[in-house]
Amino acid sequence: MSLPNTPDASPLGKPTAYDSGYDPSLLFSIPRQNMREQLSVGSTMPFFGVDIWNAYELSWLNLRGKPQIAILAVTVPADSPNIVESKSFKLYLNSFSQAKLAGIEALRELLRADLSAGFGTSVQIALTPQDAFSTLRLEELEGLLLDRLDIDVNEYALNPALLTTTKDVPAVEEKLVSHLLRTNCPVTGQPDWGSVQIHYVGDPINQENLLKYLISFRNHNGFHEQCIERIFIDILQMCKPQKLAVYGRYTRRGGLDINPWRSNFTTIKRPSNTRNARQ
């Protein structure tokens, strides 16, 4: 039997009735602690960071009944007690479709209150109205592309032992990027496609083996946030860099994309929320 607030109890993989009324109770929170225990992450986290959500299917009515649209960005601290299951997030946003609101600021305040309650901490809300869509741009992740490497691959089950470094050479600072990340929803098994940037200072990481490691996620089940944290923990444990940041940009599903960033750098800013070509 599924317990409350576990993935199996979420709306994922279940038939859905789309109601027309605004309903914040649709948000389904899942504690991060359960997922982090699987990674042996205790109360003192080895990273800080954010999850950046973008929603492209947000609409409501003005007081005269005319539909309005905007693109929503939500920034959630990585130390929030909960994540929100993505289908429930979509159902919640859809519940605004017939809601009459006084303006975009009224919408912003509802979103801030409801999502802060769902994630269990204060979140940042940014809304881009229709007349500002042209200001949004595309940009690829900065770094040396691992996908250029012509490698043989025969492991598609997660294998952190693939990660190796070169010892007895000067430490390096590198940004490495791959667009070949694929993980799978832990409830439905549906694939999640993403790009990942690894920024580190330390012994040089073997790039071919790093690419093989990222490809080894191909049959791995995990939420976006959990997979990026697993990459961070695996590299931290196996390669022992002095500093490390891992940033994932996942393609959208159901009008939502989720982009987790985890870092132990103290001198770099969080990444910009600029989507790449696949998003």
Q: Is 192 a catalytic residue?
A: yes
Q: Is 239 a catalytic residue?
A: no
Catalytic residue among 114, 152, 168, 185: 185
Catalytic residue among 51, 79, 152, 192: 192
The Cα 74–Cα 189 span in angstroms is: 25
How many residues are present in the chain? 279
HEC secondary structure over the chain: CCCCCCHHHCCCCCCCCCCCCCCHHHCCEEEHHHHHHCCCCCCCCCCEEEEEEEEEEEEEECCCCCEEEEEEEEEEECCCCEEECHHHHHHHHHCCCCCECCCHHHHHHHHHHHHHHHHCCCCEEEEEEHHHHHHCCECCCCCEEHHHCCCCCCCCCCCHHHCCECCCCCCEEEEEEEEEEEEECCCCCCEEEEEEEEEEEECCECHHHHHHHHHHHHHCECCHHHHHHHHHHHHHHHHCCCEEEEEEEECCECCEEEEEEEECCCCCCCCCCCECCCC
Determine how β-strand 82-84 pairs with β-strand 48-61.
unpaired
Which residues form the catalytic set? 185, 192
